[in-house]
Amino acid sequence: MEQPSSSFQLLERIKKGDREALSLLLDAHRRRLAVLAHYRLGPQLRGLVEIDDILQETMLKAYLQLDQFTYRTPGSFMRWITRIMDHVIADAARYHGRQKRQATQLLPFRSESNPGGPEPADSRTPSRLLAQDEGLRSLMRELDELPDDYREVILLAKIEGLSTREVAEQMGKSRETVALLLHRAVKRFKKLHDLEESL
């Protein structure tokens, strides 16, 4: 669980030029960001861009723009860095979109619209981050099992750390519905998790 004061203290240390503090803070958020990045990239980009690279650029940008960040709540750091990551992913998508237009011989990967294309995982090694972090991999396996709505509410509420009201806004639903959705999602997730543990 995130300690409200510790994140704040780390930020204070970073502002004084303590690089280790930033390293620690980013470490603390690395898994969350990796999970978010994985799902935000989508299957097409996932084959072309590595989550590691997305994280790297995000961290670098965060580091360079740190003086624009203001601390309000413990969640504001996560919210701020997610926004940065969204930009990075958009940039990567644009970059690869351009690349693809330039190199027409590049075969599009298999997707719903192109079932004949090669499997992304075949042509590229899967992200090393995922390959080497067993915990993270099983977490993602469980998330993959969830229905889309359940996964999305967990991503927004638990990983991005938004309040249920904010989640409701993003998903265009009432808070009551979101609360129920989250409740059922967590229940389902627990069931999957226990199943995985017992295997």
Partner 1 sequence: MKDSSSGPEPGTGNPDSQPAADEEQQLANAAADFHDLRASGEVVDVETFCRKYPHLATLHSQIETLDRLEVLLNMPAAAGAPARQPEALPERLSGHRILSEIGSGGMGRVLLGVDEALGRTVAIKVLDSRYVNNTLLRTRFMQEARAMARLSHPNIVHIYNLGQPEETPHFVMEYVEGTSLTEAARALTIGQKVELLHKTVLAVEFLHQHEVVHRDLKPGNILVGPDLEPKVLDFGLAHQADSGHRLTLAGEIMGTPDYFSPEQAQADPALDARSDIFSLGVIMYQLLTGTLPFRADSLSDQVHKISEQDPVLPRRLNTSVPGELQNVCLKALEKKPGDRYQTAREMADDLARFLAGEPVHASPTSYSRIMAGKIETHLRDLEAWRQDHILSLYEFDAFRKLYDRLTDREDAWILEVRRLSLSQVALYLGAWLLVVGATLVVLFRYDSLSSTSAVLLAVAAAGPTAWLGIRCWRQERFRIAIAYLLAFCLLLPVALMIAMNRMDLLSGFSLGKESLEIIAQFSMTRRPTNAQLWWAICLSLPAYLWLRRFTRASVFSLVFAAMAALLPLVSLLRAGAIDWFPDEARRFYLWLVPVALLFFAMAALIERRGHQADSRYFYPIAVLFTFVALSGEAAQDKHLTDWLARTVPQTHGLPEYLFITNAVVYLLLQSFSERFGSAQMRTVAKVFRFVIPGHVLTSILLLGINATSNWDNGRSPGWQTETRFFEILLPLAACAFVFGSIPKQMKNFFATGLFFLAIGIIRLQQDLLKNHSLWPVSLLIAGLLLMYIAVNYTPLKLAVIRWLRRGR
* Span 111-150, contacts to partner 1 by CB under 8 A: 111-112, 128-129, 132-135, 139, 144-150
In the complex, least distance from residue 188 CB atom to partner 1, rounded to whole angstroms: 8
Q: How far apart are CA 139 and CA 161, in angstroms?
A: 17
Q: How far apart are CA 89 and CA 58, in angstroms?
A: 9
In the complex, least distance from residue 104 CB atom to partner 1, rounded to whole angstroms: 19
161 half-sphere exposure, CB direction, 13 A CA radius: 17
184 binds partner 1 (CB under 8 A): yes
Cβ proximity to partner 1: between 66 and 105 the closer is 66
Q: How far apart are CA 191 and CA 34, in angstroms?
A: 23
The secondary element (H helix, E strand) that includes residue 63 is helix 51-64
- Cβ 72 vs Cβ 2: under 8 Å: no
Among 126, 137, 152, 169, binds partner 1 (CB under 8 A): 152
In the complex, least distance from residue 87 CB atom to partner 1, rounded to whole angstroms: 10
In the complex, least distance from residue 140 CB atom to partner 1, rounded to whole angstroms: 10
Q: How far apart are CA 172 and CA 152, in angstroms?
A: 12
Cβ proximity to partner 1: between 169 and 193 the closer is 193
Among 25, 45, 81, 85, binds partner 1 (CB under 8 A): 25
In the complex, least distance from residue 49 CB atom to partner 1, rounded to whole angstroms: 8
CB atoms within 10 A of CB 66: 13
Which residues within the stretch 64-93 sit at the binding site for partner 1 (CB under 8 A)? Answer: 64-68, 73-75, 88, 91-92
Cβ proximity to partner 1: between 94 and 107 the closer is 94
Q: How far apart are CA 27 and CA 33, in angstroms?
A: 10
